[in-house]
Structure 1
Amino acid sequence: MEPDKLCRRCQKLDLNPLFSQEPSHGEVVPLVFVGQYVSRACALCRLFEIYCAGDGMGSGTLISASWRYASNYGWKEPDDGFDFRILGILPEVSSYSRDEAAFHRALFRLRGYIGEPVTSPPSWTDGTIGPRSLDPRAIDYPLLRAWLNYCNQKHCRKTDCQPLKVDNQWHFRLIDCKTRLVVEAASLGTRCPPFLALSYVWGKAIQPRQLDYTQPLQDLPLTIEDSLTVTDKLGFRYLWVDQYCIRQHDEGDKHSQIRLMAEIYGSAQATIVAAVGSDPTYGLPGVSKTRRSAQPHVKLRSGYLTWSYGSTKDDISSSAWSTRGWTYQEGVLSSRRLVFTDKQVYFQCGLSSFSEALNIPFDRVGSASNDDMFPRFRTAPYSLEIGDRIYEYTHRKLGNEDDILNAFQGILGQFSKLKPPIHNIWGIPVLCSPKNWTRSPKGFLAGLCWSLGEPPDGEPPARRHGFPSWSWAGWKGVAILHPHNDAVRPDSLMENDIYVAFESLDRTRTEWSELGPYLQTGARSDQSQLRVLALDCHAFLFENQVFDVIGLKMMGIENTGIDMGDLSSDIDRVVVSADPPGLIHSLDKAMRWTDHKFRQQLLVGIPIKLQATWEEMPRFFVLVMQQKSDSDLYERVGHFEWSDPRKLFDFETFSRSVATRRMVLRIV
């Protein structure tokens, strides 16, 4: 094959060291400054331009580097790594010179590198690291099977990777890829055969239809058809797809299947993730009709150069799949994932990850790296994670807002299996053991201390009707659980000062000591009796008060993103934060709550002290409740949080300075 045409500049580049010389560890040789492309007809210029365009670099210095890949950590420099020679383009920045090695590693991890492609031997167990040439028309199924086999063999005793055993009591269905019939899993024998699951975006183009389960499926969207093909090519016969395996017009069946989501995805041998397209008509690139993006490459006289692509994080995180609420738990709860993007296939189990465009011999593979797309969560979550999972989940959007808890049910269910379990009340985690129900609701009070950020679509936070205002599920926005771990000890004004109970809308009351039966699931229908939160507590009224921290003249205020006017002198003593403007009165105009548009309605503050074991700084929340018109009910409309780095302003001082009184608040 004749080499590609090059411009004069690229013809002068000496790339022989890339192909002939032995790597010398840590060597970085500048070759030439790469600005805007020189010639559209030059294959190497086009390759450099595509490489730079990914991060908007535009230009930089082309380098020849010898780098070391360490099996356990990715782009590092420990002694157990091995060297290989690459090309990369360093952007024109001044800060990287302070730690060039770290900057190079980050760049190669993010952008990939340009190098000579390698061909893996059939065993996949030896060879060299390097970019792999991909066929835009066809998936490398032997490689995908090798990934699955590697995990089965090397991680056979690792609970992070191995699929759950299917319980005969689980009633779910599978698509038979050979007959196209939807069959009951229980009808396939005493042991359910191995199967794959699919995670994809429904979109607006597809509406569920009434199926005749006695007839083979026909006229399937391309993504579903391609997934059946992948399942067969990987040696499996059965595939689980929610749209067809759940009877969409049977509310009882939908409810029971939603409660099984963690088990279904956890027991699948792998989940096919369609991180492409906005609906199921797009297909899986490289399987049938949908082609993958052509991999940038160039043929030189001295060899062949290919771009390794680098991290798949941007490709996956920018997909429609990564913005949908239902797909979040599908990715997190799966034992293994085969993620299809427009460029390549990415694989991640509980301990390792692979990309189709990068050859990593299996005898040099270590544990999962920082580039993993999915957390190690499926079998061993710990209590610290619940705030992280809620934060990540609430960045996503739902087609039906009523699904806010349904689409998170599998995640909540995993936390309920911990020892001690973390149950939830309308999504609010209860951070204490069930043995402590009758003693103290402190764990639940800690869970109430969440704040709200703006939704990812840029719209201002808004109420999600049908859900309690005291739960993050009752608001459209990013939820941040501040005391989201079991080391936080929430205290009120005094020991046992806040008493917690719940009521239904018809005023049927449930005391804290009676909660046990309701905490086995977070499903909305199962907790309707807990719709109204009844707090017997000390609270204060904002009415007729100029709120300069109630007589303390703020003792110097540090504003964290809210306009404080002239009150921000002598900072560093008390730190104040609040929910986004629009929910509650912003802290301007000397914080005169009487100027608020809701002046006609009563505003009440409920202080809750938070003291973490690792943090001695006094910190507490003030939950702001607003009385509903012509009602004895209240809604949460925001919060304030105070902390005092100098420890001059403690909770007791605040409680003495605020005109609190005992109140019973019914909050919806």
Structure 2
Amino acid sequence: MASTFRAIGSSDDEIERLKFTLVSEDSKGHSCQYCSVLSINFRRLIDGRVEASSDSYLDTTEREVRRKAKLGCSFWAMICDRLAQMTLTQKAKNILGGMPDDLYFSTDSLWGWRNNRFLEALEGEEKSEFLRLWRKSGVDWHYAFERPCDGLDFASSLRNQSRENAVSSDLLRLNFFSNGDYFRLYLTFGLFGDASFLVLIPPSKKFGINAKRMDIASPMNLEPSSPMTVDLIKCWLQKCEFQHRCGLFDLPSSMPSMILRVVSRDSAVLVEVTPGMRKRYLALSYCWGQGTQRLLLFRSNKPILTSGTGIKISQLDATIQDAMITTYELGFEYLWIDALCIVQDDEDFKAKELRKMGDIYRNAAFTIVPSAAGDVREGFLKRRLSTLERIVPAEGRPQIVFMMKAEWKDERSNETTPFSAILQAKELQGDKEPWYHRAWTLQEALFSRRRLQYHEKQTTWRCYCAGEKILDHDGWFSRSNEGSGHYLSEVLGHVTRMLWNRQNLPHTSVVFGYWYSLVYEYSSRALTYFTDRLPAISSTAREFASILQDHYVCGLWASDLALGLAWKTAVSYLSYDNKSVKEPSWSWASYIGTASWNRGECKRSLDFQVVRFSELPVDPFRESGSIEIHIRGLLMPFSYNFYLHNEEYSVEMDDDVSKNPELTVLTDYYEDSRFGDSPETEIHLLPLIVTCSLKVQGLALIEDAQRPGKYLRVGLFIRRRIWAVPDDYPEDHDIEEDSEWPDDAPEDYQSQLRSAFGGEKNIKEIILI
């Protein structure tokens, strides 16, 4: 079967038409004659900016609100509940008497203890009603003020949490006036903070709404496997190929050793790739989950899977089935899946294919990513839950998804467009999708030039082959629900573009920064086998080694070892176990947990020098071995006692010589048998770097009792206030907080550093193990 496309057009207008139709089934909510008087108004200003106006309001009374709620209007029932909660809150405050001022400026989500105080003050039915209103609201109302009052709103945005390039809103605001007889209900937008509500509007270029807005999204495409969705994806592919000519349909430069040929929606056959074979193929990046897959490739069943009998797709796990169906429906013939294209019980074959993992994903036309599926049995083409199905009101509570009138006005053309929008209570931000928790998938994402990704609420298309990342979606596009987090998306974008555009490489220090950011993310992810700690990022490391022209040593870089060794562990309750923790102790790869680095500019201690490494393993990208580093540097002994400091397990010491108590050691493990049972044990401090805030960071080491002269890492130390303060320095300033490299730092930092750690007599050559 050749890779073909039905002529469906790929213009922006066609894409918009398909999206508009696809999300129509999710464009539903409560609407009745009593709440239809309110509307949401958008406008594009002369300068092109988009804003929501706040001139939609209604004056009403509590009696009128209760009447409309009893007549079955869910919108006014929601407002009625809020008014009742405010009344009970005010009564509880009156009973309790004086309350702290900040009580009136706290969000419901952050003041559970205050609500508990209110609950204690109320009795009987009032207490039960307050508990019902508080616990089962379904709406995160932001502010609670006394009522009645002059013009104060109880649901205005958080003014102290602005976000760059983001607009958020609470959308609903009540104003109470001094006579207490009536109030004004606004439908409005704030500028800062998190949203209590979201507005869902149809996808349209005309509206100019983008994913940077945190309060506006689109209804969802509920059928990710529908023929119309397939047509939309084909439009994305055609647009990607013909508008920026990224080579989507070019033949690959190399192929995996084995590949699946998808013959139909029902069958596939495993093909051994010959040396000259070049066929366009897709790759799958997914979560295996728990247990064993229904079908894996072994030496015993390889003859059957490569024969004419092949594979019946219906016998495979749901995610594998969906990937094959997607491949076939989009007009592609070949698909690579690790479980079926790597011989699982042939270690030599497996090692060979894993070394090629970067090229396998790099050469795929694109990668299919079911990021919302945490297990291969889940699949990703099933129907999505609608907004109404997702936001189910608690028992006895009103519906909190509303169909509203909306209006778009373009001040540049003076054109006004009416449409319908959905106002929904904002859901709590969930955790990252399962795919983002797996260690292996990080480099699969990095090497994928293009990703067709099936999220929980949307399907997205990403292409990194253009000058800028191309991103499209089939519906929902709130940035806060992309599934991965904004920071990770930015890092992946920078690194992916760097891997694909070697002509404009950033400065070496920036590339090192990318590496440390990747390892921070990678080390927080899960591995089934800890022995895969280095192999699962080995292909990425090979690419960085090519860019940096540097030696890779157990997860670190030889030319940046001073900073590389200064990794910090996350706060945790891990215990050291000499049976499971492997050497070398100085590498993050031996630590079972998240590692992070100082992100600011820093200077290396000039006394720190790498003399040599012990013999490196045959494949340094996949193996750590027991690499030893012979180094020369300042080595200062200290005796210490443990104590709990700021919820981090650390060591703090007083230096009677320099009268400097500002030294903290953050131990890698909460319980560490290497310290022994003595309450006071000697450790050694090895300074590595001076940060931009003039703090010294370095290794906390202990000498191995069985191997004299060899030292184990047990933590990271931070030493402050080693700099002499000038006589004329302002008393209300902190030299560490004020100084930044390179202009404001002391020029004699090295001599000051050496002096603070015992002078030249403490410069020694040791071995890190």
TM-score range, shorter chain: 0.5 to 0.7
Q: Give the match for residue 471 of structure 1.
A: 587
1:295 and 1:307 in contact (8 A); partners too: no
Determine if contact 2:258/2:272 at 8 Å carries over to the other structure: yes
> 2:555 maps to what in 1?
427
Query: In structure 2, the residue corresponding to 1:531 is in which secondary structure?
Result: coil
Deviation at 1:221, TM superposition (A): 0.3
Is it true that 1:448 corresponds to 2:556 in the alignment?
A: no
What is the distance in 1 between the residues matched to 2:224 and 2:137?
28
Deviations 1:299-343 (A, max 9, x none): 5799643369999x956x522222211122222332122221232
Deviations 1:94-148 (A, max 9, x none): xxxxxxx99637647xx88324435x7xxxx878758655452444222222233
Paired amino acid for 2:496 = R
| CA shift for structure 1 position 398 | 0.8
CA distance 1:329–1:42, change in 2 (3 Å): farther
Does structure 1 retain, via aligned residues, the 8 Å contact 2:230–2:329?
yes
In 1: Cα distance, 2:576 partner to 2:236 partner: 43
Using the TM superposition, give the Cα deviation of residue 268 of structure 1 relative to its aligned residue in structure 2, in angstroms.
Answer: 1.9
Within 5 Å, which residues of 2 pair with 1:172-321? 172-178=257-263, 180-186=268-274, 190-193=277-280, 195-207=281-293, 208=296, 210=298, 211-212=301-302, 213-215=305-307, 216-218=310-312, 219-284=315-380, 287=381, 290-296=382-388, 304-306=420-422, 317-321=431-435
**Is the Cα–Cα contact under 8 Å of residues 181 and 214 in structure 1 kept in the other structure?**
yes
Q: Where do 1:235-634 residues align within 5 Å?
A: 235-284=331-380, 287=381, 290-296=382-388, 304-306=420-422, 317-350=431-464, 351-358=469-476, 372=489, 374-380=492-498, 382-418=511-547, 420-430=548-558, 432=559, 443-454=560-571, 459=574, 464-482=580-598, 488-493=602-607, 496=609, 499-502=611-614, 510=615, 521-524=620-623, 528=625, 531-535=627-631, 539-542=635-638, 545=639, 574=662, 576-579=664-667, 582=670, 597-599=676-678, 603-611=682-690, 615=692, 617=694, 619-629=696-706, 634=711
Tell me if the contact between 2:284 and 2:335 (Cα under 8 Å) persists in the aligned partners.
Answer: yes
User: CA, structure 1 residues 459+573, in 2 after alignment: closer, same or farther (shift >3 Å)?
Assistant: closer
Secondary structure of residue in 1 paired with 2:461: strand
Q: Is the 8 A contact 2:576 2:669 kept in 1?
A: no
Deviations 1:610-660 (A, max 9, x none): 246xx3726241331341557775432222122438556931222326973
Q: CA deviation at 1:479?
A: 0.8
Deviation at 1:252, TM superposition (A): 1.2
Deviation at 1:163, TM superposition (A): 9.3
1:148 maps to which of 237, 262, 265: 237
Q: Take 1:165 and 1:251, find their aligned partners in 2: how far apart are those partners? A: 29
Report the Cα offset of residue 492 of structure 1: 4.8
1:247-281: CA deviations, max 9, x gaps?
A: 11111121122222222222222222112233100
What SS is found at the alignment partner of 2:358?
helix
Query: What residue number does 2:38 align with?
Result: 15
Equivalent residue number for residue 438 of structure 1: none
Matched, 1:656 2:744: no
Q: Which residue of 2 aligns with 1:640?
A: 717
Report SS of the residue matched to 2:701. strand
Q: Residues 656, 465 of structure 1: CA spacing in aligned structure 2 closer, same or farther, 3 A cutoff?
A: closer
Question: Could you tell me whether the CA contact under 8 Å between 1:246 and 1:253 is conserved in 2?
Answer: yes
Alpha-carbon distance between aligned partners in 2 of 1:470 and 1:370, rounded to the nearest angstrom:
27
CA distance in 1, matches of 2:207, 2:50: 19
Q: 1:359 to 1:597 in 2, by over 3 A?
A: closer
The 8 Å contact of residues 601 and 629 in structure 1, kept in 2 or not, is answered as no
CA 1:291–1:646 in structure 2 vs 1: closer, same or farther (change >3 Å)?
same
- Matched residue, 1:68: none
Measured after TM superposition, the shift of residue 401 of structure 1 is 0.8
Give the whole-Å Cα distance in 1 for the aligned partners of 2:251 and 2:424: 37
Q: Which runs of 5+ in 1 are unaligned?
A: 66-72, 78-85, 93-100, 361-367, 433-442, 503-509, 549-557, 586-592
CA RMSD of aligned residues (A): 5.2
What is the alpha-carbon distance in structure 2 between the residues aligned to residue 255 and residue 245 of structure 1?
13
Which of the two has higher C-alpha Rg?
2
- Residue 377 of structure 1 aligns to a residue in which SS? helix
Q: TM-score, normalised by structure 2?
A: 0.60
C-alpha distance in 2, partners of 1:102/1:17? 9
Q: Secondary structure at the match of 2:360?
A: helix
Distance 2:689 2:347 in 1: 42
Comparing 385-394 with 293-302, greater Cα deviation is found at: 293-302
Which one-letter code corresponds to 1:500 in the other structure?
Answer: R
Deviates more, 1:261-270 or 1:145-154: 145-154
In 1, distance between residues paired with 2:722 and 2:136?
A: 42
Residues 52-97 of structure 1 show CA distances to partners (whole Å, capped at 9, x for unaligned) of 99997522589999xxxxxxx97579xxxxxxxx9945799xxxxx
Kindly provide the amino acid, as one letter, of the partner of residue 34 in structure 2.
Answer: Q
Change (3 A) 1:126 1:253: farther
Matching residue's letter, 2:306? T
Structure 1: how far apart are the matches of 2:387 and 2:372?
17
Residue 180 of structure 1 deviates from its aligned partner by 0.8
User: Which residue is 1:69 aligned to?
Assistant: none
User: What's the secondary structure of 2:271's corresponding residue?
Assistant: strand
Q: Contact conserved, 1:335 with 1:378, CA < 8 A, in 2? A: yes
Q: d(CA) in 2 for partners of 1:641 and 1:488?
A: 14
Task: Look up the equivalent residue of 2:664 and give its one-letter code.
Answer: V
Amino acid at match of 1:539: L
Q: 2:54 corresponds to which residue?
A: 28
How far residue 488 of structure 1 moved from its aligned partner, in angstroms, is: 4.9
Output the amino acid matched with 2:252: V
1 CA distance for matches of 2:698 and 2:250? 41
In structure 2, the gaps of 5 or more residues are: 1-24, 82-108, 110-134, 143-152, 158-163, 176-187, 210-215, 389-400, 407-418, 479-484, 500-510, 726-748
Residues in 1 aligned to 2:683 and 2:513: alpha-carbon distance in whole angstroms: 31
**Aligned position for 1:551:** none
Q: Deviations over 1:204-263 (max 9, x none)?
A: 222545242324224210011011111222222222111111111111121122222222
- State the Cα distance separating 1:465 from its structure 2 match: 3.0
Structure 2 SS opposite 1:113: strand
TM superposition shift of 1:471: 0.8
- The verdict on how the C-alpha distance between 1:202 and 1:42 changes in structure 2, with shifts beyond 3 A counting, is farther
CA deviation digits over 1:4-53, x for unaligned, max 9?
7657xx8245235659999984523464799999689756589999xx99
How many angstroms apart in 2 are the aligned matches of 1:134 and 1:546? Answer: 58
Kindly indicate whether the alpha-carbon contact (under 8 Å) linking 1:573 and 1:646 is maintained by their aligned counterparts in 2. Answer: no
Name the SS of the counterpart of 1:500 in structure 2: strand
